[in-house]
Amino acid sequence: MAADPQDVRTALGRNLTYGMLDAIGKAIVTGAYEDTPFPTEAELSKQHAVSRSVTREAVKMLTAKGLLSARPRQGTIVQPVSSWNLFDADVLRWLLDRKFSVDLLRQFSELRIAIEPAAAALAARAANADGLAAIRAGFARMEAAERGEDDPLDADIAFHVAILHASANPFFAQFRDVVTTALRTSIRFTNRIKGRTADLAQHGAVLKAIEDRTPDTAQTAMRAIISDVVELIDHA
C-alpha cells in the first residue's frame, strides 16, 4: 500500500523541524551566538533552506527549553545558561559538544554526589528483584568491559542508571539523562588525565552493599566513587 502523501509531508516536516532544532540548539549551547545577535526568523529560514513554519516551530521548541526568548522590540535573543533547562535530554546532549570545561565537570560531580549516594541507599532499602537484577547486569557488563567484551562507558552508565531506577523513587529515575551526560564528561576527563576505566572494586562494593541491604554502606561506597573524580578535578 502506498504511503499517504499527507503522512509523508507530516513526517518530512517533523524531521526538518527536529533537524533544525538540533542544529540551532547545538550552535547556541556551544557559544556560536555569544558575540553576535541571534538571527531573525527570515535569516534562519534562508540559512537552513527551510520554510518559515519549520523555523517558527524549532524556535518555539528552543524557547520551551529555555535557550531563547522573544521580547518586544528586541526580537529573539539567546538566554543565559541559568535559564536553560539543564535536565532536558537535548540540552544535555548539546553540552557534550562544548569545549571541555573542568567547571562543568565539577558542577556535574557536585550534582552526582548529592543524588547518587542517596539513590544507592534507597536501592539498598527498596530494590526489588528486577532492580537488583539490573544492577547486577550492569556490573557484569563492567566486568565484561574489563575483558574487552563490552564498551566500558556504556557498561558504567548502565550500572549507575540501574541504581537510580532500583531506588524505587521515580524522581531519582528522572536523573538518568543527567547522570549519563555527567559520566560521559567525567570519563572523558579521567581517561585524559589517567587513561583509566572505572574501578571495579569500588563498584562491586556498592553492589554488595545494596544486595546486603545496608543503606549506609551503599551510600558511603557510592560517595567514594564520585569523590574520586572530585579529587582528580581538585588536582587538575
Q: What cell was used for 67?
A: 535557550
Strands 68-71 and 75-78: antiparallel
From first to last of the 236 residues of the chain, give the pLDDT tens digit: 444 444 434 544 578 899 999 999 999 999 999 999 999 999 999 999 899 999 999 999 999 999 999 887 778 999 999 999 999 999 999 998 887 788 888 888 899 999 999 999 999 999 999 999 999 999 999 999 999 999 999 999 999 999 999 999 999 999 999 999 988 888 777 766 665 567 899 999 999 999 999 999 999 999 999 998 888 888 76
Q: E strands along 27-115, which residues?
A: 68-71, 75-78
**Extents of the domains making up the chain:** 5-86, 100-235
The CATH number of 5-86 is: 1.10.10.10
Give the chain's end-to-end CA distance (angstroms, integer): 61
Q: What cell was used for 179?
A: 547522570
Determine the pLDDT at residue 229: 84
106-128 in b/e form (b: 16+ CB < 10 A) is eebbebbbebbbbbbbbbbeebe
Of 97, 87, 203, nearest in space to 152 by CA: 203
- CA dihedral sign of residues 178, 122, 153, 228: positive
Superfamily of structural domain 100-235: GntR ligand-binding domain-like (1.20.120.530)
- What's this model's pTM, rounded to 2 decimal places? 0.83
Residue 130 CA: distances (Å) to CA of 120, 135, 153, 163, 165? 15, 9, 22, 11, 10
